[in-house]
Structure 1
Amino acid sequence: MAYRYRCGECGFSTSWSTESEAEDRVVAHYADRHPDLVPGGSVEINRKNPNSLGCLPMIGIAFLLLLIIASCQE
């Protein structure tokens, strides 16, 4: 799973990473941008593979099949 933290004070959000890395980044953000506040905000959990390509491989395969079919016709 991947985690992303969002700042409760501004529009900052961390990139998708492990829970501890994302938490460290949001704490560092608060220390830098909001030093008088306790870190808050929200956390998002991506239960899917954050590095996956989604449906892109299927679209590529479909395109190649259509290209092959079109080139075989007279």
Structure 2
Amino acid sequence: MAFRYRCGECGFSTSWSTQSLSEDAAIAHYADRHPGLLPGGSFEVNRKNPDSPGCLPMLGIAILLLLIIGSCQR
């Protein structure tokens, strides 16, 4: 499943990721931006496509295409 964290203090949100990575990002965000406060906010589940790996596969394909195009030009 894909999860996203939204900060309860400032509206910050993470990208879609695993639950553990989203939790780590939430803790790091609070330590950096809101020291002294207990982490709050909410987690969202990607309901449109809960098994989605996010945009990483598309990013990888785009980089591959750029490498192929770059190697074909002389």
TM class, shorter-length: 0.5 to 0.7
Distance 2:33 2:40 in 1: 13
Indicate the structure (1 or 2) with the bigger Cα radius of gyration.
1
Residue 38 of structure 1 aligns with which residue? 38
Residue by residue, what CA displacement relative to the aligned partner does 1:12-51 show, whole Å, maximum 9, x if unpaired?
A: 0011000000000011000000011000101100141435
Do structure 1's residue 15 and structure 2's residue 37 form an aligned pair?
Answer: no
The list of structure 1 runs, each at least 4 consecutive aligned residues, that deviate by more than 6 angstroms after superposition, is none
Gaps of 5+ in 1: 53-74
| Partner residue in 2 for 1:50 | 52
**Normalised by the size of structure 2, how large is the TM-score?**
0.64
Normalised to the residue count of structure 1, the TM-score between the two structures is 0.64
Q: Percent identity?
A: 69
Code of the aligned partner of 2:31: A
- CA RMSD after TM alignment: 1.9
